[in-house]
Chains A and B, each alone.
Chain A
């Protein structure tokens, strides 16, 4: 019950007029960034983070929260209207959203995606209120050895679930951990991999890398598409709302997809993209008229939208309570917390309860505001889509540089920004997923420190890593998270082989 008390307390923070203003500004800016093709919530948070550097922790987190789910709302606008998703989680919205636009039903598609996002978001926030404290309390039982194994599990699950090549996911993860070892070692004072460069002694700032990969890397990728010409955007809309029949068709898909999305989002490595795709396929197989899916079925927009917004909230739970981000975007959010001097983890709920519950309470308010911004004002906002990307991308570059400068007031970081921007581009060219690397860079230091602490406690014996039941359980799920997908692949291959011979 004390969760409710904390939540009420949180509402007094979130209802402060300034904070309502910040969540609105953050939400609108996030919606705009989310609408840009190729740019999703991770880029939105990364690029807009410097806006919050001089705010207090509550206001800063509330603003960034607004940007985060604003970008989730915005991502689907571009999917529906011009068939270019802002990020992976919005891909599923193109399947039926764009066909709806082609049939002249853009208004209903825009409305239902905002409504579904709203319900998904609110549902997930309610569950979060219920489970956050128990999870955090449970996590207090973790010693350094368990923490190390937990980090290991989160990273290997992310790498093993990454799209395409599994081995490339693991290479990306190790690369990130390597980057995290650069700088002075916190426990012994030994300089590692600094190449005699003074600026590298304090390590590479992960925020610079995040901005590099998510802003510069994405802009580099966009050079290709820019020549392809621009799709025409519908600018005149009727009333953006849905009919009673449409609502009846969507209500169950939304209610089914919200818990599914939340659960998948809370798992490390899965995230919004998988949640959206799974709920889409789920609804297609449950539907009485599956042939309509892909041709403009309204529940084909509603289900993935509810799922991905619920997932985006679900992903916050392991990040806030355990200090383990489960996706690129929550990694960036965790970067924002660390920047403010807040270390996510079980202690956060004890030491900074006002800040955290203020953030959770603002999620309710933010979702309401965003539903308002995205339904009656959608017609106005989507005009951004009419501004050519040719002009918007240079502006994103400009924001990336000013953001990098604001982190440490040093031009040195510009060079790192350029280097990692190019690295990000080549990673995507080589089809190596960037997310495991980003996660590894953020948790790498903590992971090594917990390993070392455990190692010290046990006086140099590795047996501490399998000496408690919790540790053994973590080892088992880590191994399973790596082996199960491999077995699944082998089965698929065998089935395909049989299909060929038959």
Chain B
């Protein structure tokens, strides 16, 4: 499917859902009851109009030249992005439990594996260890930004 049409449909859906939700918003307890709804409602309607126009334009464009501009496929790029998201979620889960240094080390090791490849694991490890230690010391010790400590270790 053409990605422009897909995003047009998505925008239209967002507009419809958002508008529906504004009608369900509770009334304001003080002042004009409608007041908190006016602005969002306008936005919802605008979104519906804009995305309809965009869809209409895109449909006409694709009719004109038969070949779709950018088709939506799952490639290695998307796989890497998916893995990065997965690593990030794991990072978020482990962040408080393992402490900054260990969780960051693991996260970076994973990302460098994606970007740099497993073959260069020596460089990857050096970069991960150095980065997580430097950032920890810089933020936690020098700048006074609290980062979760690794249990059982001094840092």
Interface residues of A (CB under 8 A from B): 50-51, 53-54, 165, 167-168, 170-171, 174-175, 177-178, 181, 185, 187-193, 219-220, 223-224, 226, 388, 390-391, 393-395, 397-399, 401-402, 405-406, 409, 411, 414-415, 417-418, 421-422, 425-426, 429-432, 448, 451-452, 455-456, 460
Instruction: Verify A395–B131 contact, CB threshold 8 A.
Output: yes
Q: Which of B91-111 contact A (CB under 8 A)?
A: 91-92, 95-96, 100, 104, 107-108, 111
Q: Are A426 and B7 in contact (CB under 8 A)?
A: yes
Could you say which of A188, A417, A429 contacts B36, with CB atoms under 8 Å apart? A188
Q: Which of B14, B81, B104, B123 contacts A398 (CB 8 A)?
A: B104
- Please, could you name 18 A-B residue pairs with CB atoms under 8 Å apart, sorted by A? A54-B145, A171-B11, A171-B51, A174-B47, A175-B11, A175-B14, A178-B18, A178-B44, A223-B77, A224-B77, A391-B116, A395-B108, A398-B107, A401-B91, A402-B139, A418-B85, A426-B7, A432-B7
Contacts of B38 in A (CB 8 A): 451, 455
Does B59 count as interface, using CB distance less than 8 angstroms?
no
Residues of B within 8 A of A414 (CB): 88-89, 91-92, 95
Whether B153 sits at the interface, judged by CB under 8 Å, is: no
Q: In the bound complex, do residue B7 and residue A411 qualify as a contact, i.e. CB atoms below 8 Å apart?
A: no
Compute how far the CA of A181 lies from the CA of B96 in the bound complex, rounded to whole angstroms.
30
Task: Report the bound CA distance from A15 to B154 in whole Å.
Answer: 39
Are the C-beta atoms of A430 and B4 separated by less than 8 Å?
A: yes
Instruction: Please determine whether A171 and B50 come into contact, CB atoms closer than 8 angstroms.
Output: yes
> B40 near A174 (CB under 8 angstroms)?
no
CB distance from A448 to the nearest CB of B (A): 5
Are A50 and B139 also in contact (CB < 8 A) when A174-B50, A223-B77, A417-B88 are? yes
Does the CB pair B36–A422 fall under 8 Å? no
Q: Are A188 and B30 in contact (CB under 8 A)?
A: yes
How large, as a class, is the contact surface on chain B? 35 or more
Q: With the chains together, A425 CA to B85 CA distance in Å?
A: 12
Select one of A54, A181, A418 contacting B89, CB under 8 A.
A418
CB distance from A343 to the nearest CB of B (A): 20
| Those 5 A-B pairs whose CB atoms lie nearest each other, nearest first | A188-B28, A414-B92, A430-B7, A394-B111, A390-B116
Q: How far is the CB of B56 from chain A (nearest CB, A)?
A: 10
The answer to whether B152 has its CB under 8 Å from any CB of chain A is no
Closest beta carbon of chain A to B148's beta carbon, Å: 9
- Contact string, B35-54, partner A, CB cutoff 8 A, digits 1/0? 11011100110110011011
Contact pick for A455, options B35, B81, B139, CB 8 Å: B35
Using known A-B contacts A171-B47, A190-B25, determine if residue A415 contacts B111 with beta carbons closer than 8 Å.
no
Contact in complex: A51, B143 (CB < 8 Å): yes
Q: Could you say which of B54, B84, B107 contacts A171, with CB atoms under 8 Å apart?
A: B54
For B104, list chain A residues within 8 Å (CB). 398, 401-402
CB pair B35–A187 under 8 Å, yes or no, is yes
Docked-complex contact B145 and A406, CB < 8 angstroms = yes
Task: Assess whether A415 is in contact with B43, with CB atoms less than 8 Å apart.
Answer: no
Tell me whether A187 and B31 are in contact in the complex, defined as CB-CB below 8 angstroms, given that A174-B50, A397-B111 are known contacts: yes
Please report B residues at the A interface, Cβ cutoff 8 Å.
Answer: 3-4, 6-7, 11, 14, 18, 21, 25-32, 35-36, 38-40, 43-44, 46-47, 50-51, 53-54, 57, 70, 76-77, 80-81, 84-85, 88-89, 91-92, 95-96, 100, 104, 107-108, 111-112, 114-116, 123, 127, 131-132, 135, 139, 143-147
Q: Tell me which residues across on chain A come within 8 A of B143, comparing CB atoms.
A: 51, 53-54
A410 CB to nearest B CB, Å: 10
Interchain CB contact under 8 A, A220 and B84: yes
Inter-subunit contact A393/B115 (CB<8 Å) = yes
Complex: A188 Cα to B32 Cα, angstroms: 9
On whether A50 and B32 interact (CB within 8 A), knowing A167-B54, A418-B89, the answer reads no
Cβ contact of A391, chosen from B36, B76, B107, B112, cutoff 8 A: B112
* Most chain A beta-carbon contacts within 10 A, residue among B14, B77, B116, B127: B77
Is the CB–CB distance between B107 and A53 below 8 Å? no
Closest chain A residue, CB of each to CB of B28: A188
Determine the distance from Cα of A37 to Cα of B134 in the docked complex, in whole angstroms.
24
**Contact between chains at B112 and A394 (CB < 8 Å):** yes
Min CB distance A497 to B, Å, is: 14
- In the bound complex, do residue A411 and residue B57 qualify as a contact, i.e. CB atoms below 8 Å apart? no
B107 touches A401 (CB 8 A): yes
A460 to B34, CA, bound (A): 11
Pair A394/B139 contact, Cβ less than 8 Å: no
Task: List residues of chain B with CB within 8 A of the CB of A168.
Answer: 54
Pair B135/A402 contact, Cβ less than 8 Å: yes
Residues of A within 8 A of B21 (CB): 193
Query: In whole angstroms, what is the CA distance A54 to B143 when docked?
Result: 6
Q: Compute how far the CA of A220 lies from the CA of B81 in the bound complex, rounded to whole angstroms.
A: 6
Q: What residues on B are CB-neighbors of A417 within 8 Å? A: 88
- Bound CA–CA A165/B112 (angstroms): 36
Contacts of A415 in B (CB 8 A): 89, 92
Give the complex CA separation of A223 and B75 in angstroms.
Answer: 11
